[in-house]
Each structure stands twice: as C-alpha cells, then as structure tokens.
Amino acid sequence: MEFFFQQLINALQLGSFYALIAIGYSMVYGVLLLFNFAHGDVFMVGAYIGFFVSSALLGLNIFGALALPLSVTLSLVLVLTLIISMALNSIVGMLVERIGYRPLRDAPRASAAITGLMIGIILETGNLAILGPQRRSFPELIQSATINIAGVSFTNKKILIVFISILLTLALHQFVRHTKWGMAMRAMAYDYVVVPLMGISTNKIALMTFALGSALAAAAGILYGVAYPVLDPNMGILFGWKAFVAAILGGRGSILGAGLAGFLLGFIEIFVATIFPSTMRNLIAFGIILIILTFRPHGFFGEPFSAQLRL
C-alpha cells in the first residue's frame, strides 16, 4: 500500500510537468489553430532562465545581510525565481509569436508547423552554441525533508511541485473563464474573423496566449529543476512531445483537459513502469494513448473544431 501511494505521488509529480507544458500547447491550438512545436524548447529555455535567475538571487548579498534562516531565504528565492522567470519566459514566448508565427497568419498551417520545428531547433542549438554542451545543475531551492502522512512518507519537494502546478492550472482556468481577455481567447477559437469587429486586437490576444503558455512552461522548467537538478539543451524535446500528446488527449483548446491529461499521462507512465520492464515504458504508455484516441479522437474535453471556421 505504501508503495502504491509513493508511486501515486511520483505519478502526480511527473504529471505536473506534462500538465503545465500541455496547457501551453492546448491554449495556442485553441486560440490560433496552430501547434506550436517550439513549445517543448520554450520549456527548456524557461528552465535555463530559472537556473540563471535563482543562481543570481542566491549570489546576492542582501539575503546574507538580512540574516534570515536558510529555509526562509530559499523559499523566498524560489518564489522570486518563479515570478521573474515566468515573466521573462513570457517575453520569449511573445517573441516566438511575433517573429515566427505572425508573418504566417494567412499561410497554410503546415508552414507554421515547420516554422515551429525550426524555432525549436534554433533554441536548442542556440543554447548549445552560447552556453556550451556541459550540463548545468540547478541550485537546491528546497531543503529535502520527508513528510509522513498516515504511515506513508513523501518528500516535501514532490508535494510542493504538485501543489504549485495544480494552483497555476486552476488560476489560468479562472483567468480564461472569467476575464475579458479569456473570453476574447475563447471567441477567437470559435470564429476568428469577427473578434476584431468588437474592437479587440487579435494580435494582442495571440501575444497574450503565447505569454501565458510560456509562463507556465517556465514554471514547469523550474519545478523540473527542483525535482531533477540537471539541465541540458535537449531536455525539452522528449518532454515537449509527451506534453503535446497530453494536449491532444485532453482535447485541443481545453485547459483543464490538458491539465488532467498531463496527470493521466504521468500515471500511465509510472504504473506501466512498475508492472513492465522500464525499457518498455514509453512503448506501452503510448500504445494505451493510441487506443484511447482511437475511440475519442477529440480527446476528453475537446469540442469538435472544424478548421474551415478559421482564416
């Protein structure tokens, strides 16, 4: 039983990363009918931004001067790192939109997909060229501790990662459901042409969509760094593809759907690995997803979009 609960929290942790990244894929698809294939690498960039921001913050003398207990200092650094990196990475996302995708607004969707793949390669190789091939180790922002709940012990890191990612998912869901910008995003998903006639700039809404998705990807990157403190330029590739699959599974355009599917993917992977040899993990996990999609091609929460609605 204890083993089961520990695997459960492992699955939730892995699912957290998939969920946060999948939401970025899903939002962009929902609003612009575009798969942003650079998103996995935006996650990687977010993790690196988090690495530099946290290292810089830890190097500041101000924390030494304040003479706070170490755990308080580290928590403060974690929160600041999250906020600053999310803001910086949203700028990265907006640049991707502005430079990569906006010129292709009226082009066939395949052109945009190819551009996305190229932007991804540029981000990976750019990182390699500028920072070199060595891996970076993410600073330890949470002091490991073990929490015991009803006889099952968890590390505090895992709990915090799951908590933060659920919180961000729900916050974004609220934002999209209940604010004027979120409403404009949803309207764009249904009919793009009339939104400007309401006095709303679709370019601004597109930028905002990319900014929000990239901010969440940065959060995923930092939490990833907390969990597995090794960063390398290609870390976004496999994670990005898996999160993309989660976005499809959740239903394109649905935030909660993408979040839930991200966690589901985490569960499938972890529990497949406990039953079968771990070399077969991805094979079996994605086989299961293929079967699910055969029966639910729109995913769990997707509304059947028709592409002809759009420009």
Q: Is 307 in the site for another protein (CB under 8 A)?
A: no
Q: Fill in the per-residue mask, 122 to 141: x = in contact with another protein (CB under 8 A), - = not in contact.
A: --------------------
- Closer to another protein by Cβ: residue 188 or 273: 188
Near another protein by CB under 8 A: residue from 196, 228, 274, 291: 196
Size of site (CB under 8 A) for another protein: 23
Near another protein by CB under 8 A: residue from 1, 130, 198, 275: 198
230, 56 in Cβ contact below 8 A? no
- Closer to another protein by Cβ: residue 117 or 194: 194
Residues in the chain: 311
* Residue 236 Cβ vs another protein, minimum distance, rounded to whole Å: 28
Token pair recorded at residue 55:
């290292």
* Residue 186 Cβ vs another protein, minimum distance, rounded to whole Å: 7
Token pair recorded at residue 32:
């612009």
Q: Is 300 in the site for another protein (CB under 8 A)?
A: no
* Distances 105 to 113, 203, 301 between C-alpha atoms, Å: 12, 10, 26
- Closer to another protein by Cβ: residue 44 or 164: 164
Torsion of Cα atoms, 164 then 170 then 173 then 174, to 10°:
-120
Q: Fill in the per-residue mask, 149 to 178: x = in contact with another protein (CB under 8 A), - = not in contact.
A: ----------------------x--xx---
Q: Fill in the per-residue mask, 12 to 41: x = in contact with another protein (CB under 8 A), - = not in contact.
A: ------------------------------
DSSP per residue, 189-202? HH-STTGGGGT--H
Near another protein by CB under 8 A: residue from 193, 238, 283, 291: 193
- Closer to another protein by Cβ: residue 110 or 197: 197
- Closer to another protein by Cβ: residue 175 or 267: 175
Question: Cα–Cα distance between 241 and 92 in angstroms, integer?
Answer: 19
Q: Is 105 in the site for another protein (CB under 8 A)?
A: no
272, 285 in Cβ contact below 8 A? yes
Q: Is 181 in the site for another protein (CB under 8 A)?
A: yes
Residue recorded with tokens 């929290």:
9
* Residue 26 Cβ vs another protein, minimum distance, rounded to whole Å: 16
Near another protein by CB under 8 A: residue from 5, 190, 286, 300: 190
- Residue 99's CB is within 10 A of a number of other CB atoms, namely 11
Token pair recorded at residue 25:
């894929």
CA-based radius of gyration for the chain: 20
Q: Which long-range contacts (CB under 8 A, 24 or more apart) does 101-105 make?
A: 101/32, 101/34, 101/36, 101/206, 102/203, 102/206, 105/311
* Residue 182 Cβ vs another protein, minimum distance, rounded to whole Å: 8
Residue recorded with tokens 């589901």:
264
Q: Which of 21, 43, 92 shows the shortest CA–CA distance to 248? A: 21
Token pair recorded at residue 304:
């059947």
Residues in contact with another protein by CB under 8 A are 171, 174-175, 179-181, 183-184, 186-187, 190-191, 193-202, 303
